[in-house]
Amino acid sequence: MTVSSADPVGFIGLGSMGAPIAQRFTAWPGGLVVCDARPEATEKAVGAGARAVATPAEVAAVAHVVSITVVDDEQVRSVVTGPGGVLETARPGTVVAVHSTIAPDTAVALATTCAEKGVDLVDAPVSGGAPGAEQGRLAIMVGGERSAYETVKPVFALTSDMTMHAGPVGAGTRMKVARNLLHFISFTAAAEASRLAEAAGVDLVKLGKVVRHTDAITGGAGAIMLRDTTAPIAEDDFWHGVFTHVRGLGEKDVSLALALAAELGVDLPLGRLALDQLGDGLGVGPGPLAAAAREKATR
């Protein structure tokens, strides 16, 4: 089903993440219907032209696209299938989009239940945080039928400049989990780098400015996510030369950091893992420095 711009859309759950998304949705030509367990949470959206109702069922009674941003799997189940929930009133062809990060299996199970009533459910987790929502720059990863993705895409465009069809139901959440794994491992690595810098007498505020400046240019860790497989790279493949070069730079720089850490008595567990696993992760195998470190560790 293609949603008409004359039809209202719905939004349930206007918390710290849902509120800025819903605020962007108030620009939808057909209007926005909102609902939250805390009536005061809807006030800003209402001030921008939305209409507030008391239950998810009242949202689904009028909206062909219903977005949900609540805390966890239990709350999503309650909003969709519980008393006063979306499925009490949702008409065939309605698309329910779950922006909450839930278990992929929860999304699949709920989609099966919704399908029994002719309703499509997509898992559509977001990346970019509240600032991304406010700026209309969220990435939204949609798992579901292609037709459902096409239905929600024009609505999501109000808050997203990258809406991605990740695959079948559950794929959006799986993509979000992988994305956030990188995010928080990177945070842990930043903390490790900060410990080394602090021990070496480096100004951490200035280091942070340098990191943010250069990551904005190079793309940070995402800059190497260019291939469609994690398999080893053949020597005659274009990427072999590129990633061999990256491995050489990485192993040299990590080795320097580990040497400095040993001198200063700072433990860098992620640094040791990076030296050992960088080449394999890039698909070109360990370089000389990693091979030497492995040999030393086995003595």
| CATH 1.10.1040.10 residue spans of the chain | 175-298
Judging by beta carbons within 10 Å of its beta carbon (0-12, 13-18, 19+), is residue 282 exposed, middle or buried? buried
CA distances to 66, 88, 106, 167 from 111, in Å: 14, 15, 8, 14
Position 295 confidence tier, pLDDT thresholds 50, 70, 90: confident
Q: Report residue 92 as tokens.
A: 């065939």
What percent of the chain lies above the pLDDT cut of 90? 95
Candidates 114, 82, 83; CA nearest to 97 is 114
CA distances to 199, 275, 279, 290 from 248, in Å: 26, 10, 9, 10
Which pLDDT score is estimated for 5? 80
Cβ atoms of residues 244 and 232 within 8 Å: no
Active site residue 176: yes
- Give the mean pLDDT of 125-150: 96
Which pLDDT score is estimated for 298? 84
CA distances to 192, 222, 282, 297 from 36, in Å: 40, 36, 45, 56
Residue 1 pLDDT more than 60? no
Q: How far apart are CA 196 and CA 269, in angstroms?
A: 12
- pLDDT tens per residue, range 52-62: 999 999 999 99
Q: Does domain 9-169 have CATH number 3.40.980.10?
A: no
Position 2 confidence tier, pLDDT thresholds 50, 70, 90: low
| Strand 65-68 relative to strand 95-98, pairing | parallel
| CATH 3.40.50.720 residue spans of the chain | 9-169
- pLDDT tens per residue, range 176-231: 999 999 999 999 999 999 999 999 999 999 999 999 999 999 999 999 999 999 99
Given the residues 117, 153, 176, 252, the one annotated as active site: 176
Residue 64 pLDDT more than 70? yes
Instruction: For the domain covering 175-298, report its CATH number.
Output: 1.10.1040.10
